[in-house]
Structure 1
Amino acid sequence: MLKIVADDKIPFLTGALEPKAEVKYMAGGDISNEDLKNADALITRTRTKCNEGSLNGTSVKMIASATIGFDHIDTNWCEQNNIKWTNAPGCNSESVKQYLGAVLALLVSEKKWVLKDRSIAVVGVGNVGSKVSAMAKALGMTVYEIDPPRARQENNMHFVNLTDVVNKADVITFHTPLSKTGEDKTLHLCDDNLLKCMKSDAIVVNSSRGEVIDGQSLKAALTEKQIGGAVIDVWENEPAIDKNLVDLVWIGTPHIAGYSKDGKAKGTQMSVQAISRFFKLGMDDWEASGLPLPEQAQLEINCVGLTEDEVIARAILHTYPLFNDDADLRGDLAKFEYLRGAYPVRREFKAYQIVLENGNESMLKKLIDIGFGKVIKKMSGR
């Protein structure tokens, strides 16, 4: 029988492959070369290093990572040793969009921003960045899209250079892979030089990879109040993150921007289907089931006295009260991994219905455009 080793924190996986395979579930960080000796496949997340040390001399023929990132996989070594690997591109794109939506909602509710008067630079316009960009446009923001590889490949004048807009953008949000070398190097893309060019009230957001921002430079910029603040979900040296930097950021979370139940289910689904195709298991159309419902799937908002931004902010923060994750991280940095593994249920916008009392068509359209499952407008008293 097919033998598979799987990270035990991958949701909706238990029982999916057992009719076709023998599956051993383990903590991702504990999976060793010895555990993989007789395994045919590995289903993993980012905490399992897939390289010569863990794979040499094993019988592993395929690695399926239920994550968008794949820098935990030594892809060159795997390809040279005939080990097929897959990741799950775009699986968490709606979840990260929701995270950014919550950031914008808090800028409205906490800092009284008017979004139509603000701009955002989206650095990396792939599966995630494109959805963040579309949401920001739907909310009326000016959007600058930065993606040098796409700009070259598509010869598209729509894209701009980061250096040309860094001094204009009110929010700079990073959605790039981690590239340590080459023309499109992103290691420490946000460094001292870039931070010094930003507006004094700019907000920097990183939900891509920790090393995209130079943590020491960000600490200096925040200490000296060169920028308005930072929202950091991914950190250098995870899980041993810098307490001094956590103390300085406006919002800090434990690498959970993509951790909606919907996004996790999609990543698991893509991994199971990839395993099925490779080993011809006949499960190519398998879908995750049993996603828990939101605690309060319907929200009614009386729009009297509220601006459009305030209405939308209430709807977004109902689906995702971002400050809760910030408080959990600050409560005990040593629980970084625990907070990821025990992350509570978070459903994406599509799982919610919003009822607008005394709302207008513009509010309704914006909520639909950013992805809410159903939006109903009713008049007072009806």
Structure 2
Amino acid sequence: MKFVIDDACYAYDTIFGDFGEISALPGRSIDKAAVKEADVLIVRSRTKVNQALLEGSKVKFVGSTVAGLDHVDQNYLQDNGITFFSAQGCNSMAVAEFVISAIVNLADELNFDYTKKTLGIIGVGNVGSRLAAKAELMGIKTLLNDPPRQDSEDLLNFVDLDTALSADIVTFHTPLTFDGEHPSYQLLNEANFHNITNQTILFNAARGGVINENVWEKTQTKVNIIDCWENEPNINQNLQKDAYWATPHIAGHSVDAKFMGSFMVYEALCDFTGYKQDESIVNLIAPGILKVKKDNLKDTLNEIYDFKQDTVAIKNIGNFEDYRRNYPIRYEWHHFDSTTVLPIV
């Protein structure tokens, strides 16, 4: 088989090398000519997978090693008999750790007790559920909003959007959708931005476009933490300048998450082809026991990974894409033997 793979996919040569011939390219460079003779296409978020890319090609399987779906025209794939798999949930722990790290840092720097704050989580899927579990373990009251889940599961503890937006800390974890009963595009917009006050800590670690950035840059908040932007990599520099953390869409970029994205696609491809899995691949991430000897949670989390370095790295937004592609090694918390108890759930 012939593969075209985004060269940012984790350990693609080790994980997929036994299947056949691999052509690895930067995601933005994968074009119609590159995929014409390919049987399998494996991408991250920077390749638009649609008719313009695939028409006339031999591709029969598309795997996406990231959780987002807005870069893939699933209707086109289905209509043309192309099997599609997306690694939903692969980065959920990494994103939840990003949000908790920010809250712990802010609590220390702004001198507040996070157990006295409310956390509005908008989108309670893979990421939002993990974040809610960590927050509750830390004694933070959560206000959960997810209309699709509430409609299908009748969850009595969920709240409406205005209530979630009224929380002290508001964080978005929805996919980016434009249609259906509950589209998330500009979910926070001119009509409901009044819920956000000058005391709100506001996150976007979901997708660019979930929050109307034109309104956001004119709205005074207490703090903004922005990892996902409209028009990446040409991000809103007014929001970037004023953000506490302005990071280049890397909240989910832990080593564990990137491995899991590739591994989940590998499992799906084995099912598709009937190929017997190599049992050693599941153990590819093995850093051993990593020790952190700090006597408080903030210092512990920052020794594990300090997200401020990501903000500094893209002060020149020309570094946005290169930094994402060459992101520093960052392991998730469960790898660490820590003096301070970590909120691992």
Q: Which range, TM-score by smaller chain?
A: over 0.9
1:66 and 1:41 map into 2 onto residues whose CA distance is 13
Aligned to 1:370: 344
Q: Against the structure 1 CA distance between its residues 284 and 273, is the aligned structure 2 distance closer, same or farther, given a 3 Å change threshold?
A: farther
Aligned to 2:290: 297
What is the Cα deviation at residue 208 of structure 1? 0.7
Of 238, 242, 248, 1:248 maps to 242
SS in 2 for 1:210: coil
Query: Is the deviation greater in 138-147 or in 277-286?
Result: 277-286
Q: What letter corresponds to residue 235 of structure 2 in structure 1?
A: I
Aligned to 1:235: 229
What is the Cα deviation at residue 313 of structure 1? 2.1
Instruction: Kindly indicate whether residue 30 of structure 2 is the aligned counterpart of residue 31 of structure 1.
Output: yes
Aligned to 1:182: 180
1:122 and 1:78 map into 2 onto residues whose CA distance is 32
Instruction: Kindly indicate whether residue 329 of structure 2 is the aligned counterpart of residue 355 of structure 1.
Output: no
2:335 and 2:156 map into 1 onto residues whose CA distance is 36
Aligned to 1:282: 276
Alignment check: 8 A CA contact 1:145 1:160 kept? yes
1:347 and 1:210 map into 2 onto residues whose CA distance is 25
SS in 2 for 1:17: helix
Aligned to 2:189: 191
Alignment check: 8 A CA contact 1:116 1:140 kept? yes
2:36 and 2:280 map into 1 onto residues whose CA distance is 28
Instruction: Kindly indicate whether residue 311 of structure 2 is the aligned counterpart of residue 326 of structure 1.
Output: yes
Aligned to 2:141: 142
Aligned residue pair count: 345
2:53 and 2:87 map into 1 onto residues whose CA distance is 21
What is the Cα deviation at residue 297 of structure 1? 2.1
**Cα shift readout 1:231-287 (whole Å, capped 9, x = no counterpart):** 100100011112122112221000000000011010010011111111112127563
Aligned to 1:78: 77
2:79 and 2:259 map into 1 onto residues whose CA distance is 31
Calculate the TM-score normalised by the size of structure 2. 0.96
Alignment check: 8 A CA contact 2:170 2:200 kept? yes
Q: Against the structure 1 CA distance between its residues 56 and 348, is the aligned structure 2 distance closer, same or farther, given a 3 Å change threshold?
A: same
Aligned to 1:118: 117
Q: Against the structure 1 CA distance between its residues 272 and 236, is the aligned structure 2 distance closer, same or farther, given a 3 Å change threshold?
A: same
Q: What letter corresponds to residue 32 of structure 2 in structure 1?
A: N
Aligned to 2:171: 173
Alignment check: 8 A CA contact 2:120 2:142 kept? yes
Aligned to 2:161: 162
Q: Against the structure 1 CA distance between its residues 82 and 286, is the aligned structure 2 distance closer, same or farther, given a 3 Å change threshold?
A: farther
What is the Cα deviation at residue 35 of structure 1? 1.2
Alignment check: 8 A CA contact 1:5 1:24 kept? yes
CA RMSD of aligned residues (A): 1.6
Q: What letter corresponds to residue 290 of structure 2 in structure 1?
A: A
Q: What letter corresponds to residue 59 of structure 1 in structure 2?
A: K
What is the Cα deviation at residue 16 of structure 1? 2.5
1:47 and 1:80 map into 2 onto residues whose CA distance is 23
2:50 and 2:74 map into 1 onto residues whose CA distance is 8
What is the Cα deviation at residue 314 of structure 1? 2.2
Percent identity, aligned pairs only, is 31
SS in 1 for 2:218: helix
Of 262, 265, 278, 2:259 maps to 265
Q: What letter corresponds to residue 152 of structure 2 in structure 1?
A: Q
SS in 2 for 1:15: helix
**Cα shift readout 1:167-208 (whole Å, capped 9, x = no counterpart):** 2x1110000011112321110111123322223211110111
Aligned to 1:215: 213
What is the Cα deviation at residue 55 of structure 1? 0.1
Q: Against the structure 1 CA distance between its residues 45 and 165, is the aligned structure 2 distance closer, same or farther, given a 3 Å change threshold?
A: closer
**Cα shift readout 1:310-358 (whole Å, capped 9, x = no counterpart):** x22222222121111111111x1011100100100000000111125xx
Alignment check: 8 A CA contact 1:31 1:48 kept? yes
Q: What letter corresponds to residue 347 of structure 1 in structure 2?
A: Y
Q: What letter corresponds to residue 200 of structure 1 in structure 2?
A: N
2:189 and 2:344 map into 1 onto residues whose CA distance is 31
1:52 and 1:114 map into 2 onto residues whose CA distance is 51
Q: What letter corresponds to residue 61 of structure 2 in structure 1?
A: M
Larger radius of gyration: 1
The unaligned stretches of length 5 or more in structure 2 are: none
Calculate the TM-score normalised by the size of structure 1. 0.87
Aligned to 2:8: 9
2:292 and 2:155 map into 1 onto residues whose CA distance is 41
Q: Against the structure 1 CA distance between its residues 270 and 280, is the aligned structure 2 distance closer, same or farther, given a 3 Å change threshold?
A: same
Q: What letter corresponds to residue 188 of structure 2 in structure 1?
A: C
Alignment check: 8 A CA contact 2:171 2:204 kept? yes
Aligned to 2:321: 337
What is the Cα deviation at residue 292 of structure 1? 6.6
Aligned to 2:97: 98
The unaligned stretches of length 5 or more in structure 1 are: 303-310, 357-363, 372-382
Instruction: Kindly indicate whether residue 61 of structure 2 is the aligned counterpart of residue 67 of structure 1.
Output: no
Q: What letter corresponds to residue 264 of structure 1 in structure 2?
A: K
Query: Is the deviation greater in 261-270 or in 277-286?
Result: 277-286
